Structure 1
Amino acid sequence: MFERFTQGARDVVEGAVGHAERADAPAVTTEHLLLALLDAEGTKAAYVLAALGVTGRRDAIAADLAEARRRGGVSAADEEALAGLGIDVDAIVARVEQAHGEGALGRSGRGRGRTQRWFGGAHRPFARESKGVLEQALRVAVGRGERAIGDEHLLLALAVRPGVVRDVLGVYGASYGEVVRVLGPS
């Protein structure tokens, strides 16, 4: 599949690995993919993110992702569902942090994971959700009748898959529908 990635998509994957390594994360997550997309310049995804006003809000997005990680990765949809059951996520987070320290829910298996090879280098493994985004990007590209997988397909995959990253993109106006609208037909 990776032979079909454009240079822009390859740069995003490599950038995500770099973000994971700098954060000393055990695996490359969807958050790392989003941060790497926000770093991109001169690509279709960079154009879309700029057109939607997302690019200039990178620090706020990074803060929102960190807050979601602090809360154990609970998405807005998860929180709403739990609230419907009478479960207050904020109260749970506060109690866990009171007992185990701030950010306790965001800590998990820090340290170097086993390595995998991506585009010729040895790097951290990709989390299951990140692998799913890469697979979804392939499906998006095929669905749009495009032969190569570009960083815009990675952005579309992140915007369509349920979870914290999709929620954060939506808050900043980069929902799947908006990304498609800016990209236009294939």
Structure 2
Amino acid sequence: MFERFTAAARAVVGSAVAHADRTGSDTVGEPELLLALLDQRDSLAAAVLDGLGVPRPAVADALAADRRRGGLSAADTAALAGLGIDVDAVVARVEEAHGAGALAGGGRRAGRGKRVRRTFSPEGKAVLERALRIAAGRRDGYLGDEHLLLALTTGSGPAGVALAGHGATYQAVVRVLAARSTGRVG
């Protein structure tokens, strides 16, 4: 599958692994793939995000907040609040007892200066598989970072929710891609 990846898509995957290393995540998943896409500047997905006016820092902050809450999204937090559960209070108490970021998980750490090989989580693998199906469905003979972006918008996980919250839905991304391919500014 990876032989069909463009240089931009390969850069996203490499950057996603680096994000997992920085956060201490055991695996590369949707959040890491989205953070890597947000890092891109001179690629088709970057142009689409810019065309949609997606505020990269706000999306990254939303992903960081989800991670701090142990993977609970803002929607999950709101749903639990409806049941009388204050997730922010729970997080604060856990962090008070166990340290900042205790619910964010912590990956296995290698010794000083050693890297741990990161694998893809089931959700991360699903994004790659959806991207491949999307590329095939569009009759593209390659898999680019725009296909990764489209795949992230189809999911209901933290990346899809964060993107949708800032107007980057599947339909919006398709619209901007179509406008770019016909020469119209998206």
Q: TM-score range by the shorter chain?
A: 0.7 to 0.9
Matched residues in 1 for 2:13 and 2:40: separation?
Answer: 11
Return the letter of the residue paired with 1:90: D
Return the letter of the residue paired with 1:93: V
Unaligned stretches of 5+ in structure 2?
111-115, 182-186
Is residue 76–residue 167 contact of structure 1 (8 Å, CA) maintained in 2?
Answer: no
1:70 paired with 2:64, answer no
Unaligned stretches of 5+ in structure 1?
113-121
Of the candidates 176, 179, 183, which is equivalent to residue 182 of structure 1? Answer: 176
Is residue 26–residue 108 contact of structure 2 (8 Å, CA) maintained in 1?
Answer: yes
Is residue 25–residue 105 contact of structure 2 (8 Å, CA) maintained in 1?
Answer: no
Report the counterpart of residue 104 of structure 1 in structure 2: 102
Report the counterpart of residue 46 of structure 1 in structure 2: 46
Q: TM-score, normalised by structure 2?
A: 0.81
Q: CA deviation at 1:49?
A: 0.7
1:156 paired with 2:154, answer no
Q: TM-score, normalised by structure 1?
A: 0.81
Return the letter of the residue paired with 1:125: T
Is residue 28–residue 121 contact of structure 2 (8 Å, CA) maintained in 1?
Answer: yes
Is residue 24–residue 107 contact of structure 2 (8 Å, CA) maintained in 1?
Answer: no
Return the letter of the residue paired with 1:134: L
Counting matched residue pairs gives 175
Matched residues in 1 for 2:24 and 2:70: separation?
Answer: 17
Once superposed, what is the RMSD of the aligned Cα atoms? 2.3
1:36 paired with 2:36, answer yes
Q: Name the stretch that deviates more: 60-69 or 131-140.
A: 60-69
Report the counterpart of residue 170 of structure 1 in structure 2: 164
Q: CA deviation at 1:50?
A: 1.0
- 1:35-55 Cα offsets, whole Å, 9 max, x none, are 21122233211110110122x
